[in-house]
Amino acid sequence: MKWQYVWGMMILVAMAGAAGCTQEEAPAPDLRSPALPGQQIVAIGNVTGQGQQLGGVLTTGTIDTITVRTGLVPGAKAVSMENISVVYADAVRTETLAPVGGYRGLPGQGAWGILGIDSEAGPTNNRLEDHEEFVIQINPKASIMPGQMFTIVLRPLYGKPLTLRRMAPSAILAEKNIVGSV
């Protein structure tokens, strides 16, 4: 009886040791926002705002540009960013933003642009395809104040739009500010 206990413990120790040596890594977390039925594009990761300090005081800054990383919903068809419309709205105004020339580059006030593409598949184009992530920057005409709520809508030609409802942080930094979901 005593030997059976010892053998049983040795087998359990060996199994526990083998389980820890499988070289399998945990899957990377999916940072995509939940998609609605019929939606083709989703936000990936945090939505950030680039701040501007007023008078050197961090807590009175404003956000001038918003950066959103987008990707396709798994199984969705490619989306041409040349046919997308971008709308910014807050409690005071609603504006449809114009794309920058060629769709790529830093946007001026009242515009949006593609800053970069991660994992670009195939030749350079403005089509969001499977496994690609487009980094889009939005520059509304008016700056966003601390604690201000706003909405950004990315509407592709087909399918439901991606709607992001966000709130600026109460203290805006000159660097990246994570704008929280509402």
Specify the pLDDT at position 98.
Answer: 97
Least confident interval from 3-12, 57-66, 93-102:
3-12
Is the model's pLDDT at 84 over the cut of 60? Answer: yes
Model pLDDT for residues 16-61, shown as the tens digit of each residue: 655 655 555 555 555 566 677 888 999 999 999 987 655 554 445 7
- C-alpha 27/C-alpha 109 separation (Å) is 40
- Among the ranges given (3-7, 44-48, 159-163), the one the predictor scored with the smallest mean pLDDT: 3-7
Residue of 121 and 115 predicted with greater confidence: 115
Answer whether residue 156 shows pLDDT above 90.
Answer: yes
Question: What's the rounded mean pLDDT across residues 129-149?
Answer: 93
- The three-state secondary structure class of 119 is coil
Q: What is the pLDDT of residue 110?
A: 96
Bridge partners of 111, per DSSP, are 98, 139
Residue 138 reports pLDDT greater than 80: yes
Q: Report the alpha-carbon distance of residue 73 to residue 76 in Å, rounded.
A: 5
Judge contact between 172 and 146, C-beta under 8 A: yes
Q: pLDDT above 90 covers what percent of the chain?
A: 49
pTM to 2 decimals? Answer: 0.76
Q: Which residues of 155-168 are buried (b: 16+ CB within 10 A; e: fewer)?
A: bbeebebbebebeb
Please determine, for residue 111, whether its predicted confidence score (pLDDT) is greater than 80. Answer: yes
Predicted local confidence at residue 115, as pLDDT: 95
Burial group, residue 145, by CB count within 10 angstroms (0-12, 13-18, 19+): middle
- Let me know how long the chain is: 182
Q: Which structure tokens are listed for 181?
A: 């979901």
Q: How far apart are CA 152 and CA 96, in angstroms?
A: 10
Model confidence pLDDT, tens digit, residues 60-79: 578 999 999 999 998 889 99
Q: Which residue has the tokens 């490619």?
A: 78
